[in-house]
Amino acid sequence: MPANKKYLTPSPWQRFAKISAAILGGLIVAVMFHMALASWFNHVAVIITSTFSAFILWAILMVFAFLGKNGWKIWGIYLLTSVVFGVVFYFGNQINPIV
């Protein structure tokens, strides 16, 4: 039984934005989150834990990308979130340098 047409995204650009945000954007946010954690906490423990938790976070972010109506807004949210985690990572490395 095919999907109901009213629930499908009609624009191919919106479909591309959602798919790319789910795969690439979700991965970028998951990795940046764990990098920010590793700069403030014990980096060995965070890296070991991230092998599982990054995949789970990535899967959750993939689902959220398809729940949104506009794929470009999802991209914006993911990029803004990754920039925030990047700033946290930068300041974490300035205060707690890994030697």
Cα(44)–Cα(59) distance, rounded to whole angstroms?
A: 23
Q: Is 54 part of a structural domain of the chain?
A: yes
In a domain, 19, yes or no: no
- Does residue 21 lie in a domain region? no
SS3 10: coil
Within 10 angstroms of residue 89's Cβ, the number of other Cβ atoms is 20
Would residue 24 count as lying in a domain? no
What b/e readout covers 21-57, taking b as 16+ CB neighbours within 10 angstroms?
bbeebbbbbbbbbbbbbbbeeebeebeeebeeebeeb
Range of the domain at 45: 29-93
Q: Where are the alpha helices (DSSP H) in the chain?
A: 12-20, 26-40, 43-67, 71-95
What does the pLDDT profile of the chain (99 residues) look like in tens digits?
A: 677 777 666 788 988 999 999 999 999 999 999 999 999 888 888 889 888 999 999 999 999 998 988 889 999 999 999 999 999 999 998 887 776
